[in-house]
Structure 1
Amino acid sequence: MTWLQSFLTAFLAVATVIYAGRAVVLHRAANPAWTRWAWVAVLFAVALVVNVVALVLSA
């Protein structure tokens, strides 16, 4: 695993947590609809999973 792959994995993990946390806060503030924060969190989570799978397969 290169430093770039390590950085990308860490970045995606942190970004997913931040966006998911913000989406939960907005959802609890009586906003039942999915916000842009939630959609971005989902996109980051999918990218994180794809990145981890690629790392496992390349090992």
Structure 2
Amino acid sequence: MHPDPACFALAVRRRAFGRALRIAGVLDHGELAEHIDAPTTTSGQPDRARVASRVGRPT
């Protein structure tokens, strides 16, 4: 998944996280929602360094 609010909303609505992680029940996706809704840079794109540090990828 990429940091796009529409993609995140679709994943939540489809309950994709639970299936992908093979977890039964309701998952708390609050922290991920806060991360997705975080402010972006002036270009309208997410801050790549911040996103990369959150997913463990080099910038």
What is the TM-score with the length of structure 1 in the denominator?
0.30
What is the TM-score with the length of structure 2 in the denominator?
0.30
Which structure is higher in RCO with an 8 Å CA cutoff and minimum separation 6? 1
